[in-house]
Amino acid sequence: MKNTKMKQSIAALAMAAVVAVSLLGYGCGSKSASTAGGVSGDFTGTAKGFGGDVSVTLTLTDGECAFTVTPEKGGMATSFTKNGDEYLWLRDKNFESTDRPRCGIPILFPNCGKPDGGVHHFGGTAYPIEVHGLADLVPWQVKSADDNAIELTLTPNGLTKFVYPFDFALTMRYTLVGNTATLALTVANTGDKALPFSVGFHPYFGVTSLDNVSFAIDAATCSESAKGEQPAAPETITLTRKEGSADSIRLLTGVKSPMRLTDAGNGHKVTVAFDESVFSNGVLWQQDAESFVCMEPWNGWANSVNEEGRHIELAPGETKEFKWSVTIE
C-alpha cells in the first residue's frame, strides 16, 4: 500500500519553526519545510544556531520500495530502496557539509556542467556560476506532500540573482509507483524577458565496482569532450578507467530512451527513461576512488547557455516540463 512516511522526532509545529531557522541559516530565504496542511517527514538533527543543522526528509513508499527526498539539500532525492537495499549512493561527508551535493540525484539548473571560464554572459555582463548551476546549492520549499506525490518549489533570492539575473519558478514533483520513481521539473519564466537555461539530472547509483557494470544505451555519438566534432557511438557503450585520470566520462548525443545499467556484482538493474524531445544528451561518469556510476539525462552541455541555439529560452509567462523516471530491479 502506498503511503508517505511521517515519522517525527518532535511536534510538526515546532519542527516547522526549527526548519525555518535552519533554512534561513543557509542564507537562502526559505521559510518552512512543512506544508499548509501540516504534512511533514522524517526529522533528525538540531537546528542551525542550536548546535547544528536540521535534516528534513520526506519519503514515499509503495510496497517494497521507498523513495526519499531532502528539500534543504538542493531539493534532491537522497535514497531509493527496494526491500531495504539502497540503489542510490550517498557521500556522507559531502552530504553533511554545505558544499555542492555530489551524491543522490542533484538537479542541474540553469546549466549542465561548467561554462567556459566559469561564467555566463547576459547583456554584456559576465556572471560567475558554479558547475551544474544553482538549484542543487540552495534549500527548496515544500509545496505539498501526500500519499501520492511530493512537490517542492524554488524561486529567486539574492544569491540566485547574483549569479543568474532572471525571475523564474521551479517546481519539482516526485512520485513513486511500484519500483519506478518519476521526477518532473517544471520551469516557469516569471519575469519580463527571455529565460535562457539548460536542465539535467545527475543521479549517483551505487555499484560494487566499475568492472562489474555494463550498459545498454543507444546513442548517436559518444566522446570524452563536448568540444569539436563528435565521433559516432560504438554499438556497445562502455565506461572504463582512463589511465592517469581520476575519473571516467562518456558524453552522449542523440540518446534514445531508456538507458540501462546492470551491476553483475550485486544483481542491481537500473533503467533511466525520459522524453527524448527534452533530454537529447546523456552522461556516464565515475570517480576511481568511489563506488558509484552516474547515468544522467541532460539537454545541454557545459557552455550551452552561452551559445546561440544550444539552450532553451522561455518567453515571459511560458513554462516547460522536464520529466524522466528511474526504475530499480
Predicted confidence (pLDDT) per residue in 286-327, tens digit: 987 689 999 999 999 889 899 988 899 999 999 999 999 999
In a domain, 34, yes or no: no
Overall average pLDDT of the 49-77 stretch: 82
pLDDT given at position 227? 78
Task: Give the sign of the dihedral formed by CA 157, CA 163, CA 164, CA 169.
Answer: negative
How does residue 97 score in pLDDT terms, banded at 50, 70 and 90?
low
d(CA 82, CA 329): 8
Mean pLDDT for the stretch of residues 229-245: 88
Does residue 221 lie in a domain region?
A: yes
Check residue 20 and give its pLDDT. Answer: 36
Cα–Cα dist 40/33, whole Å: 7
pLDDT the model gives residue 98: 63
For β-strands 141-145 and 149-154, DSSP reports them as antiparallel
Cβ-proximal residues to 97 (8 Å cutoff; 6+ apart), any chain: none
- Range in 48-57, 106-115, 202-211 with the lowest mean pLDDT: 48-57
Looking up cell 544569491, which residue turns up? 159
Q: State the average pLDDT over residues 27-51.
A: 35
Does residue 307 form part of some domain? Answer: no
pLDDT of residue 96: 67
CA atoms within 13 A on the CB side of 20: 10
Task: Please state the φ and ψ torsions of residue 230, each to the nearest 5 degrees.
Answer: -100, 125
Instruction: For residue 253, tell me if it sits in a domain.
Output: yes
Query: What does pTM read for this prediction?
Result: 0.84
Under the banding of pLDDT at 50, 70 and 90, the label for residue 15 is very low
Domains contained in the chain, number: 1
Q: Is residue 232 part of a domain?
A: yes
Q: With respect to residue 318, please indicate whether it lies within any of the assigned structural domains.
A: no
* pLDDT for residue 190 is more than 60: yes
Span of 88-92, 121-125, 150-154 with lowest mean pLDDT: 88-92
Question: Residue 198 pLDDT > 50, yes or no?
Answer: yes
Could you give the CA distance from residue 57 to residue 68 in angstroms, rounded to a whole number? 7
pLDDT at 25 over 70: no
Q: Which residue has the cell 568492472?
A: 211
What range defines the domain where residue 292 resides?
204-298
The closest of 43, 42, 48, 41 to 21, measured between CA atoms, is 48
Question: Is 292 a member of any domain?
Answer: yes
- Region 254-261: mean pLDDT is 97
pLDDT of residue 94: 62
In a domain? residue 48:
no
Q: What's the whole-number average pLDDT of the chain?
A: 83
Name, in order, each residue with C-beta under 8 angstroms of 103's C-beta and a sequence gap of 6 or more: 78, 88, 89, 90, 91, 94, 95, 204, 292
Q: Mean pLDDT over residues 197-207, rounded?
A: 97
